Chain A
């Protein structure tokens, strides 16, 4: 059995208890998208303010489990100030860590993921992978709009 400590790493719990960038952004100029996990009813809202191909600011809201909430928090820190290409790379790297992207997606070195690296253990708990990818999919939606 994968131990709980693989899942609930201290950094993860810290982002869960003290979420960074929780809140809203005025739309416009920011864009907004909502994501749902039909399995457990988790909901996430992601706001992103993009100018000149750079994510200037990002906020998230919604309700969910420790994994979905902490991922959103870590993701917000990781993407803030990054170019859209860098964000896409991060997402691919994260999803390859979650074993979702398998076509050589792990182009960024693990260090690039920053705190998100702490979520590596989620892959041992297959039902929770969706919790960790919900906010990424929602961010993609936001950036597309």
Chain B
């Protein structure tokens, strides 16, 4: 494509995107009179019609509070919610629906573990091992616990390609009670050797919490195969609505943990003297849940199952390979893309720097071409410091993106060069 050619969709379209793009109403809109090029799914995904319909139908036909009403629609609402739980159980290979705790998002799921498990099991001198590529959601709850309890935080370093450097893993695990790490980096796309880390942790008697916020929406997920003890993820990055996420935990761990928040729904009995917590999973679900959002997330799981997570992953890898190739060929001199160079070792997240141009300015110029990318520190300031960057621009893909989206990005980057390049 020459620099003067219109931004045409001449590039071949991935079969998957061709089949799915029309399922997402938002992708039919334009921005400033141009078709939207949405490359920010790592922040939140778009929602297919099936999810919108499921939530709409719930409100139109079944809406009632769950678990407490002895009337028909209250029963239907409860069923809808528990059916969704069962879908999520199957989706991540959990042994029982009792292990699937609904919460607001991945952030709340990590906080639940830090608060409930952490405050019960960790004391001064214990260590929690994190990595240099964590999202703030998997850092700050541990900082809070560390300052409250005198728990030591340790950090697995990264190599220059953005892979975890595991050479000192055994030493770092010595005295660690928990390893909490991202299964897929939201900045680098890095997918660490999860099983290897989990096995090493378990050998040393440490538990493993996986931040699956990026992983679960993009990879076939089986908690038994991953070998983790807790898994946190958000619905809104996997075609579901905002305001709903999941904490999965091994049942015996969850059984032994005290409740996180107190209120209705999470109790069996309350007296003036005290309370008796409810059974799993409700013990951790205080108050009226986000029922419509649970239903929407269930529909999102159905939608992704219909595509097949293997196919989702193949699509991501192929489009990431295309993006790495195209962007490097066209902008190789000015462009630095962070993270592992092999598409198979990463998710569809490309953080980049473009010459000396600040990420804010990049995204501002791209916006005028209807190209949506994120700019900033991506809630991973320790990682940004490690990369020696104040901010990066980040393009991330999902099932509805195709090669023409990448071509638009590559082309719009020319305009960034025009405005900010050497004069």
Say whether A and B bind each other: yes
Nearest CB in chain B to that of A131: its residue: B360
CB distance from B381 to the nearest CB of A (A): 7
User: Which of A62-70, A71-79, A97-105, A107-115 has 4 or more CB atoms under 8 Å from chain B?
Assistant: A62-70
Chain A interface extent, by class: 20 to 34
Tell me the complex Cα distance, A57–B6, Å.
50
Instruction: Say whether A4 faces chain B, with CB atoms less than 8 Å apart.
Output: yes
| CB-based contact A40/B32 at 8 Å | no
Considering only residues 371-401 of chain B, those with a C-beta below 8 Å from chain A are: 375-377, 381, 384, 390-391
Specify which chain A residues have a CB less than 8 angstroms from the CB of B358 in the assembled complex: 63-66, 69
Digit string of A8-50 for contact with B (CB within 8 Å is 1, else 0)?
1000010001000000000000000000000111110000000
Instruction: Say whether B65 faces chain A, with CB atoms less than 8 Å apart.
Output: no
Nearest CB in chain B to that of A66: its residue: B361
Tell me the complex Cα distance, A69–B381, Å.
20
Nearest CB in chain B to that of A64: its residue: B358
Chain A's interface: helix, strand, loop or mixed, by majority? mixed
Considering only residues 351-375 of chain B, those with a C-beta below 8 Å from chain A are: 357-361, 364-365, 368, 375
| CB-based contact A128/B390 at 8 Å | no
Specify which chain B residues have a CB less than 8 angstroms from the CB of A128 in the assembled complex: 360, 364
Specify which chain B residues have a CB less than 8 angstroms from the CB of A13 in the assembled complex: 419-420
Specify which chain B residues have a CB less than 8 angstroms from the CB of A64 in the assembled complex: 358, 360, 390
| CB-based contact A41/B390 at 8 Å | yes
Residue from A4, A41, A69 within 8 A of B391 (CB atoms):
A41
Specify which chain B residues have a CB less than 8 angstroms from the CB of A67 in the assembled complex: 360-361
| CB-based contact B376/A41 at 8 Å | yes
Greatest chain B CB density within 10 A among A7, A40, A64 is at: A40
Residue from A41, A66, A69 within 8 A of B377 (CB atoms):
A41
The interface of chain B, by Cβ under 8 A from chain A, is 32, 357-361, 364-365, 368, 375-377, 381, 384, 390-391, 419-420, 423
A-B contact pairs, 26 of them (CB 8 A): A1-B32, A1-B368, A4-B364, A8-B419, A17-B423, A40-B359, A40-B375, A40-B376, A40-B377, A41-B376, A41-B390, A41-B391, A42-B360, A42-B391, A43-B390, A63-B358, A63-B390, A64-B358, A64-B390, A65-B359, A66-B358, A66-B420, A67-B360, A69-B358, A128-B364, A131-B360
Give 12 A-B pairs besides A7-B364, A65-B358, A65-B360 with Cβ atoms closer than 8 angstroms: A1-B32, A13-B420, A39-B376, A41-B376, A41-B377, A41-B390, A41-B391, A42-B390, A42-B391, A63-B390, A65-B361, A128-B360
